[in-house]
Structure formats: structure tokens, C-alpha cells
């Protein structure tokens, strides 16, 4: 079966989850991986990105966002998914923090040459450059989205407080609303739309990438396999030495620990209000 929009969403938290992942990096919930099908050929990710419904949505978003930012350059009729995701990314200034990225109060996000580029505003100092095929998940929250991505060869090393990557797990970048500014535009729907359509674009870029370099090499790039290894069945976040029988338990408790750590970081960074913090903490602990 060809990939659908629903297949790219975590059934529990609604995050975009890469079609080759077996669990959601954000909440640890199991995800139906398309890895076996991908080994045999395309799974329909490029097809989904080019579908008439996707094009219609791209036109709608382009119209909405170009009106909001008051730029009427370019034709809405020729809108593309890439263009629409670019408008979403660039619609706001953000507050960012992540692995290798210090808390930055004024930052821009843009889609350039098949990568998300985060820069300090206005100095344009580079904070992160994330190629689309390396994105593993995008989890929208209240006024924010957390991007999970595979560390590339030039990936930043997690700082002392950045932690939790264990040298193998995905890197994180939290892109958040700048509190009190542009509140009307920075609704949760902005981050939900961004995560969903970035996900469709990412899945298509991923399918192109594994078609080009082969699935085993692509899984190595994603950090889901070690060079020379057979296609693994180990979930993201699971210890590499864990046997298949113990994987679900390991994944779920380590995912909870990771979620709690991330929450504490967000709180320390002033990115969540106290009431959101308490609610989210209860929600994470309820999974135990």
C-alpha cells in the first residue's frame, strides 16, 4: 500500500515520524515501519508529496502565509510543497535551543537547498543545518516544535547540558514561539502544519535518498544501522546490545527518561510555562 498522510503520524502524540522508524522518538509509541517495503522499492513518499491533495494544500498554505507576511511575489497557482514549507518556516522569528545549539532568543528558520537552516537573527550566524533526509521526527507542542534528526558527519557534539544523545541517538532542536510576540500567528496550528508538511517533504526526500544510495547505506546515515550490518530491527532509543525480546521495555523506559530530560531542559531554558510543565510531566509519568 502506498504511504498516506496518516502513516507519517504518531498515533499517540501526532508527531511526524519517519516512515522507516519503529517507534516515535518523542513519546516512544510503536510506529508501523515501512522498512521491509522500502527494501523492495518505493513506498509512495514521493507520490504523496506530488499528489493533487498535497498540491491543493500547498496552494492554500502559500496563500495564507504570503497574505500574512504581506508578500505577493510568485504565483500561488505554481505553489509547491517545498515552497509552502519554506513560507511556514520563515513566517516567524523563533526562540531555539538544542543539541549543539545554545538558547537563542531571536533565530530564523529557512528551507534552502533541501535543508532546514537555522540562523541567529540578524547576524546570520549558523545554528544548525539539517538536511531533509536526516530528519527523523517533528513533534508539535504548545507554541513549539521539536525536530529530531540524525547527526551527520559535521554534526555538533552535544554540550554538557545538551546530553542524552549517548553519541548515537538523534539530535534535537526545539523551535519555539518567542513568548508574547506575534502571538496571533504563533498559534499551535502553525507548528502542527509545519510538522505535518515538513514530514511529507522529508519522507519524499528520504525515499529519493535511499533510492539513490541504497537502503542499507541510508539506514547507516540515519544512525539506524552500523556499516556492514544487516538491516536491523532495533528501535531508535533502544540499547544496541539489547536483544529483540527486551526492546519494547527498554525503548519505553528510556523514551520516558528522555522525555523527562527534555522537559527539564525546556523548563530551564524558560520555554515552558509552569502549568504546561506540570501537565506535560504528569502526562509523561502516566506512561510508566
Q: Give the three cell numbers for residue 120.
A: 541567529
- The SS3 assignment for 279 reads helix
Closest approach, Cβ 148 to Zn ion, in A, equals: 11
- When binding is defined by CB under 5 A, the residue of 3, 7, 9, 13 that contacts Zn ion is 13
Alpha helices in 6-147 (DSSP H): 35-40, 45-50, 52-68, 81-90
Instruction: Specify the stretch interacting with Zn ion by CB under 5 A; choose among 29-37, 85-93, 113-121, 254-262.
Output: 29-37
Rounded to a whole number of angstroms, the minimum distance from the CB of residue 221 to Zn ion is 22
Cβ at position 23, least distance to Zn ion in Å: 8
Give the residue carrying C-alpha cell 541567529. 120
* Planar angle of CA 214, 216, 219, nearest 5 degrees: 105
Measured between alpha carbons, how far is residue 32 from residues 1, 24, 36, 239 in Å?
Answer: 13, 10, 11, 20
Give the residue, chosen from 5, 12, 115, 276, that forms a contact with Zn ion under the rule CB under 5 A: 12
Residue 180, exposed/middle/buried by CB under 10 A (0-12, 13-18, 19+)?
Answer: exposed
Instruction: Report, in Å, the least distance between residue 238 CB and Zn ion.
Output: 16
Residues 143, 256: Cα–Cα separation, whole Å: 22
Closer residue to Zn ion, CB minimum distance, 30 or 76: 30
Contact call for residues 35 and 193 (beta carbons, < 8 A): no
Kindly tell me which residue out of 3, 8, 21, 24 binds Zn ion, with binding defined by CB under 5 A: 24
Of residues 24 and 235, the one with the C-beta less far from Zn ion? 24
Tell me if residue 231 falls in helix, strand or coil. coil
Size of the site for Zn ion (CB under 5 A): 8
State yes or no: residue 195 binds Zn ion (CB under 5 A).
no
If the CB atoms of residues 15 and 61 are measured against Zn ion, the closer one turns out to be 15
- Whichever of 91 and 145 has its CB closer to Zn ion, that residue is 145
Q: How far apart are CA 220 and CA 204, in angstroms?
A: 18
Beta bridge partners of 144: 141, 176
State the Cα–Cα distance between residues 204 and 34, nearest whole angstrom: 13
Torsions phi, psi for 144 (to 5 deg): -160, 165
Residues composing the chain:
288
The CA distance from 252 to 284, in Å, is 11
- 58 touching Zn ion, by CB under 5 A: no
Is the Cβ of residue 62 or residue 144 nearer to Zn ion in the bound state?
A: 144
Cell numbers linked to 30: 510503536
Instruction: State yes or no: residue 27 binds Zn ion (CB under 5 A).
Output: yes
Q: Which of 3, 7, 9, 10 binds Zn ion (CB under 5 A)?
A: 10
Judged by CB under 5 A, the stretch of 20-28, 52-60, 69-77, 113-121 that binds Zn ion is 20-28
Piece in contact with Zn ion (CB under 5 A), picked from 25-33, 37-45, 115-123, 164-172: 25-33
Among 8, 15, 132, 272, binds Zn ion (CB under 5 A): 15
Identity of the residue, 24 or 107, whose beta carbon is nearer to Zn ion in the bound complex: 24
Nearer to Zn ion (CB atom), residue 7 or residue 108: 7
Measured from the CB atom, the residue of 87 and 191 that comes closer to Zn ion is 191
Judged by CB under 5 A, the chain residues 217 through 276 that form the site for Zn ion are: none
User: How many other β-carbons are positioned within 10 Å of the β-carbon of residue 40?
Assistant: 8
Residues that bind Zn ion (CB under 5 A): 10, 12-13, 15, 24, 26-27, 29
Amino acid at each position: 500500500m502506498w504511504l498516506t498522510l496518516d502513516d507519517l503520524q504518531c498515533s499517540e502524540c501526532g508527531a511526524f515520524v519517519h516512515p522507516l522508524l519503529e517507534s516515535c522518538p518523542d513519546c516512544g509509541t510503536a510506529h508501523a515501519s515501512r522498512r521491509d517495503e522500502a527494501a523492495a522499492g518505493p513506498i509512495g513518499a514521493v507520490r504523496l508529496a506530488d499528489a493533487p491533495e498535497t498540491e491543493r494544500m500547498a496552494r492554500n498554505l502559500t496563500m495564507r502565509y504570503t497574505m500574512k507576511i504581506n508578500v505577493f511575489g510568485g504565483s500561488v497557482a505554481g505553489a509547491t510543497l517545498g515552497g509552502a514549507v519554506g513560507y511556514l518556516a520563515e513566517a516567524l522569528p523563533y526562540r531555539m535551543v538544542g543539541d549543539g545549539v545554545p538558547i537563542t532568543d531571536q533565530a530564523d528558520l529557512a528551507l534552502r537547498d533541501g535543508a532546514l537552516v537555522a540562523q541567529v537573527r540578524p547576524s546570520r550566524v549558523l545554528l544548525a543545518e539539517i538536511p531533509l533526509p536526516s530528519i527523523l521526527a517533528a513533534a508539535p507542542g504548545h507554541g513549539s516544535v521539536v525536530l529530531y534528526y540524525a547527526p551527520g558527519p559535521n554534526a555538533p557534539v552535544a554540550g554538557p547540558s545538551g546530553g542524552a544523545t549517548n553519541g548515537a541517538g538523534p539530535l534535537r532542536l526545539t523551535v519555539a514561539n518567542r513568548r508574547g510576540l506575534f502571538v496571533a500567528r504563533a498559534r499551535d496550528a502553525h507548528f502542527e502544519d509545519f510538522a505535518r508538511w515538513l514530514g511529507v517533504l522529508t519522507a519524499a526526500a528520504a525515499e529519493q535518498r535511499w533510492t539513490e544510495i541504497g537502503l542499507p547505506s541510508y539506514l547507516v546515515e540515519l544512525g539506524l544501522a552500523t556499516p556492514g550490518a544487516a538491516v536491523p530491527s532495533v528501535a531508535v532509543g533502544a540499547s544496541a546490545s539489547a536483544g529483540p525480546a527486551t526492546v519494547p521495555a527498554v525503548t519505553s523506559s528510556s523514551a520516558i527518561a528522555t522525555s523527562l530530560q527534555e522537559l527539564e531542559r525546556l523548563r530551564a531554558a524558560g520555554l515552558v510555562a509552569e502549568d504546561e510543565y506540570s501537565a506535560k510531566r504528569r502526562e509523561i509519568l502516566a506512561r510508566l
